[in-house]
Amino acid sequence: MITRLIKVLSLLYLLIDGLIEVTWHWSHLTPLQAQERVMNWAQRACRVLGARVEVEGDMSHVGPLLVVSNHISWLDILVFLSIRPVRFVSKSEVKDWPVVGRYASACRTLFVARSSKKDALRVVHQMVDALNAGDIVAIFPEGTTTQGQEVLPFHANLIQASVATNAPLQAASISYESIQTGQMITEPSYIGEDTLVGSVWVILGLKPFRVRVKWSDVQARGERDRRALAQDLHQAVVELRPKT
């Protein structure tokens, strides 16, 4: 319990530090400085939460690029940001989360109301603008989170941004594992009726754990439409998954 309370205090300090940064200092940073601050903050957050990130393969440094990954937890975003800052497409509710929402907005996150097809179209247009500007944009095309034991079929609507811009794509797989046993763990997952506070509390009670991120090679869009891309990228993520 004492260890968990120390982690809580460390996390609160980190959140306050992040809030001060985005409120008073962010506007004075260059884009490169902002990216470095995001990566540093995410790395610190992962350490506080006990997440030991291990990367296999190389994430492209160059945009435009559309990154697709399976989705297990809100922690996925911190993990990816700790590797390299990218622009995420996230559910609109995140924008209203205390402190986290402010930081997500400062990171130029694109927010989408998942229940609205019209809003998804709006976000695709924003993704097109971001890719045309040379950004790296990341999406979770399952459309929801899982416990990590399977990869749900990919929705193709947001992948349309790659078709519209002819931007290359890169698949990634994320999984959470026990350092002691090497087996997948489900405690970091954020599903169903889980609350953010409850999920954070559970994660803070864990022993340090491994987060394994595996990258595929970058692939060109070619002549594939969004549905073909969704199927191929889904298969790529499945092939990257840990073998159980």
pLDDT digits (tens, 9 = 90+) for 183-230: 999 999 999 888 988 999 999 999 999 999 999 999 999 999 999 999
Kind and range of the H or E run holding 51: strand 51-56
| pLDDT (0 to 100) of residue 244 | 61
What integer is the mean pLDDT of 78-101?
A: 85
pLDDT of 154 > 70? The answer is: yes
Q: Which residue has the higher pLDDT, 99 or 68?
A: 68
In the chain, the number of structural domains is 1
* Domain that includes residue 225, residue range: 2-240
- Cβ neighbors of 240 (< 8 A, separation 6 or more) are 171, 172, 173, 214, 215, 216
What amino acid occupies position 191? I
Residues 69-89: pLDDT tens digits? 999 999 999 999 999 889 999
CATH number of the structural domain spanning residue 232: 3.40.1130
Q: What's the whole-model pTM score?
A: 0.92
Backbone angles phi, psi at 191, to 5 degrees: -135, 165
pLDDT in tens, 39-50: 999 999 999 999
Instruction: Report percent pLDDT > 70 for the chain.
Output: 99
> Between the CA of residue 54 and those of 60, 155, 177, 214, what are the distances in Å?
16, 27, 11, 8
Distance CA 170, CA 237 (A): 10
